[in-house]
Amino acid sequence: MSAPHCRCGYRPNDDLDFLDHLQEVFIPLDGIAPDGHLHDEGESRLACLCGFKAATAPELDAHFVAVFTTASHLGLDGQVHAAH
């Protein structure tokens, strides 16, 4: 099974590549999510500064995508980014 492609036209190589793409288009440099909190990888491995602890790196990546993705799926570039 291949990874879904993005509505913007990006075709990832695999699921991890798709997560990387979503992180690039949704996460601002300051790390402040729409919830107003800082979400960034902390000093503790596989943990977010908000207190979320992941079991795997992809799980932590999925957390970041979840908290930074807006309901409209509009990325920082003004395009819609979602699995298609």
**pLDDT for residue 3 is more than 90:** no
DSSP state, residue 48: B
Q: What is the mean pLDDT of the chain?
A: 92
Longest dimension (CA), the chain: 36
Alpha helices in 13-75 (DSSP H): 15-26, 57-68
d(CA 4, CA 26): 17
Per-residue confidence at 2, pLDDT binned at 50, 70, 90?
low
Q: What is the mean pLDDT of residues 21-50?
A: 93
Residue 21 near residue 6, CB atoms below 8 Å: yes
To which residue do tokens 């990546």 refer?
61
